[in-house]
Amino acid sequence: MKDSVFERKIFWLVVAIRIAVLIGIVVIFGADRLLWSDSFVYRDLAQSIASGMRYTDSLRTPLYPIVLSLFVGWGAWGLATIVAVQAFLAALTSVFIFRIARWFVRPYPAAAAAVLFAAEPLSILLGALILPETFLLFFLVLFCYWFMRGYREERSLFLAYSAIALGCAILVKPVALYLWVIPVAFLLYAKHTRQALVYGGLIFALVLPWMVHNKLVFNTFAVTTHDTVSVCGYLLTSVFASEFGKDPSNMDVAIFPPKFLDAQARCTSSSMGIRIAMFEYPASFIKTMMLSSAAFLTNEGYGAFFQKAPEESIKAHHNYLTPVVFADVQWRRNIVGAARELSVPELLAVLGGKLFWVIVCLLAFMGMYSALRDFDMRPYALFLILVLLYFIGITVLSTAFGVGARLRYPITPILFVFAVLCLVRRYKFV
């Protein structure tokens, strides 16, 4: 069967799944259920743009609110429309995941990687909510595919597509801000200096208008101020939780000694915050990074489906059932309390999801090792691995114990691709 046939089938399968979920949510629960967590912030930003008001958020880049502003005036129909658009983007993303997987495996396993991504519960949930993750992942997958193809074929046009996709990803969500270093380093290593300069220049040209806007409105050329807020908040709090064995989910600074307030007062930038954590509390910093990385990879996100009201819940996102619980000296009590909060079916769903992601991660790591040993696959496997390590590093450094399944979303396709590769090579899965 030709790849184009697989791609068409994958596309329409994903569209059908996502549209069915959208209809089910709207009919059963109403369109308001499409708004969750940060959805309200993005909706308000979109309404401000639609009404011609100034964009007043220095943390979130503007592309998703701009797209959302085209539909927000339609009320419930507008919310449903943007989610339908996200359904088609998710389908296109699955097609490009298939194309990336085809660099490593035959069509059937490649299709399995794309369908696994499309059918994963959290992936479906994020696509059905007013959140930017679907747009972000779409541009990130395009960035990876077009760079790998342009690098192999030495086609400047494909590299330009990759740079434009990465620039759009940054404008959707600033987590991709420093990702340009990886493709530029690959091009410089291959002695394509001119292409590296053009690649970086294209990204800069796309992001520059937003930087100028921030200078005019917020008096800073920074693409986002979120990194400093996160590092001086989440990272330092998490490191101190590890240092003193406190509740890693408690952001109340009153539980820490006065030197924590001193550290926060000295934290005037993200680099300063990382320096304080790394050099003043090195053992706790390492422990925090290890636990955060483990939580980042295995946090299934299914606990959000069973979230209790704040007055009933031990922790809204059941953070006591992730590896970060071990930062607290009372971790045994916390695990038991969180487990008792859920019914047996809910607990089985959460623990089953964690087991699933542990297995996927183990298979993916074995698949990465196998790909790196193959001379033909090595450059492209290395590129994807560096992208994966980038998102792990940037996330745990900025949020530490605040990591969540939403933040893991950009590396989900990479994990599935390498997990399928492992099944093919080691276990002869076809």
Between 149 and 6, the more confident residue is: 149
Q: What is the pLDDT of residue 419?
A: 96
Structure confidence by residue, pLDDT tens digits, 339-351: 887 788 888 888 8
What does the DSSP 8-state code read for residue 281? S
Q: What is the pLDDT of residue 344?
A: 86
Q: What is the pLDDT of residue 189?
A: 93
CA 395 to chain centre: 8
Compute the average pLDDT of residues 243-262. Answer: 74
What does the DSSP 8-state code read for residue 248? T
Residue type, 361: C
Q: What is the pLDDT of residue 310?
A: 57
- Residue of 234, 223, 224 whose CA lies nearest to 267: 234
Cα of first residue to Cα of last residue in the chain, in angstroms, is 14
351-375 exposure pattern, b = at least 16 Cβ within 10 A, e = fewer: eebbeebeebbebbbbbbebbeeee
> CA–CA separation, 27 vs 166, rounded Å?
36
- Residue of 169, 188, 187 whose CA lies nearest to 178: 169
Least trusted range by pLDDT, from 88-97, 201-210, 251-260: 251-260
> CA–CA separation, 188 vs 234, rounded Å?
35
Q: What is the pLDDT of residue 402?
A: 78
Q: What is the pLDDT of residue 197?
A: 96
Angstrom distances, CA of residue 3 to CA of 80, 103, 131, 146, 253: 32, 12, 31, 17, 55
> CA–CA separation, 10 vs 12, rounded Å?
6
Give yes or no for residue 316 having a pLDDT over 60.
Answer: no
Give yes or no for residue 256 having a pLDDT over 80.
Answer: no
Least trusted range by pLDDT, from 41-45, 72-76, 207-211, 368-372: 72-76
Is 202 within 8 Å of 170 (Cβ atoms)?
Answer: no
| Tokens representing residue 413 in the block | 């396709």
DSSP 53-66: PPP--SSS-SHHHH
- Quickly list H helices, 219-307: 226-230, 236-244, 258-266, 270-280, 282-298
Q: What angle do CA 240, 242, 243 make, to 5 degrees?
A: 60
* Owner of token pair 């991504």: 117
Give yes or no for residue 31 having a pLDDT over 70.
Answer: no
Least trusted range by pLDDT, from 67-71, 238-242, 263-267: 263-267
- Residue of 60, 80, 58 whose CA lies nearest to 71: 80
Compute the average pLDDT of residues 226-231. Answer: 73
Split at pLDDT 50, 70, 90, the class of 170 is very high
Q: What is the pLDDT of residue 311?
A: 55
Compute the average pLDDT of residues 121-132. Answer: 86
Between 385 and 222, the more confident residue is: 385
The three-state secondary structure class of 266 is helix
3-state helix, strand, coil in the chain (%, to 5): 80, 0, 20
Global pTM value: 0.91
Give yes or no for residue 158 having a pLDDT over 70.
Answer: yes
Residue type, 192: H
Is 150 within 8 Å of 105 (Cβ atoms)?
Answer: no
Q: Mean pLDDT over all residues of the chain?
A: 86
Q: What is the pLDDT of residue 1?
A: 57
Between 306 and 320, the more confident residue is: 320
Q: What angle do CA 388, 393, 396 make, to 5 degrees?
A: 120
Give yes or no for residue 180 having a pLDDT over 90.
Answer: yes
| Tokens representing residue 21 in the block | 């979920």
